[in-house]
Amino acid sequence: MKLKSQIQLLFSAGLLLLSPIVSAQITSGVLYCCLNNEQQKVCSDKRSDCWGKETQAINQHGLIVDEIPPPLTRTEKAALLLKKRELEEIEKQRLDEERRFQELLNVFGSPDAIDREIERQEKESDANIKITESRLQTARDNVKTCEDKLARKEKSGDCNDQLLETYKKTVVEIEAEIVSRKQQTEESKQRLLTSKREIEDYQKKLIEQGYLNPQ
């Protein structure tokens, strides 16, 4: 197609109103239109003639087939990179939350299951503590019996100064064992309650996002 016919086609499509300067022959069937340094519309069949500028690609029917933005400035690139990193961090946090939530579900199943586990552990701890307290009472009785014998200056194979110290040491050890067991039970309870809150918080988030139906 000759240039005159091409210009007529552009005129019929109304493109010359947007492109007062037509530079170069049209051979590819697509015009690239942009503003030149004098802020005039120019159209060319060479993409390079509009390099670095906001560009519209127009086919032979006068239709815009593509809009090409100008290259990003250094500041824009830095802002885009920062935004990308922020989105990646948000996605990482989301995946971590999802993984943690799945791990908790695999272990406990539900918040109600955690309540049952806390109750089970407390019952088991109470039973063990009662047994230990019985041992403690026996140890205290041994101390008192030995002290009474020594007070009466009665020494025997099961009571002398050395054995008395052993009995007292046993009492201290058993008391420490009870304290430790109670502390372990409480720490386990708090960990379970933390896990329960994590499950409930994540379930609430899923409900708010529409991924989970409230029960």
How many folded domains does the chain comprise?
2
DSSP per-residue letters across 3-50 = HHHHHHHHHHTTGGGT-SEE-S---SSEEEEEE-TTS-EEEES-GGGG
Q: How far is CA 79 from CA 12, 74, 83, 91, in A?
A: 43, 9, 6, 18
Average pLDDT of the chain is 84
Structure confidence at residue 108 (pLDDT): 84
Q: Looking at residue 115, what is its pLDDT?
A: 93
Are residues 39 and 24 in contact, defined by beta-carbon separation less than 8 angstroms?
A: no
Query: End of a domain among 68, 90, 120?
Result: 68
Nearest to residue 23, comparing CAs of 46, 52, 53?
A: 46
Structure tokens at 84: 């990308």
Domain-located, residue 87: no
Other residues' Cβ atoms within 10 Å of the Cβ of residue 105? 14
State the average pLDDT over residues 102-125. 91
Token pair 């109750």 in the structure block, residue: 119
Whether residue 144 sits in one domain with residue 59: no
- Burial (CB count within 10 angstroms: exposed 0-12, middle 13-18, buried 19+), residue 146: buried
Answer yes or no: do 202 and 122 share one domain: yes
**Contact yes or no for 18/41 (Cβ under 8 A):** yes
111 contacts: CB under 8 Å, gap ≥ 6: 196, 199, 200
Residue 54 located in a structural domain = yes
Q: Report whether pLDDT(99) > 60.
A: yes
Choice among 9-18, 58-67, 76-85, 186-195 with the minimum mean pLDDT: 9-18
Does 125 map to a domain?
Answer: yes
80 CB contacts (<8 Å, ≥6 apart)? 72
Q: pTM, whole model, 2 decimals?
A: 0.55
Q: What is the pLDDT of residues 126-173, one digit of tens each?
A: 999 999 999 999 999 999 999 998 988 877 778 899 999 999 999 999
Could you tell me if residue 26 is inside a domain? yes
Q: Which of 37-41, 166-170, 172-176, 188-192 has the lowest mean pLDDT?
A: 37-41
d(CA 190, CA 77): 47
11, 37 contact by CB (below 8 A) = no
Structural domain for 114, as ranges: 109-208
Look at residue 163 and give its three-state secondary structure. helix
Q: Is residue 85 part of a domain?
A: no
Residue 214 covered by a domain: no
Does residue 83 lie within any of the structural domains? no
Alpha-helical regions (H) of 37-152: 74-108, 111-151
Instruction: Evaluate the CA torsion angle 49, 50, 51, 57 in order and state its sign.
Output: negative
- The answer to whether position 154 is within a domain reads yes
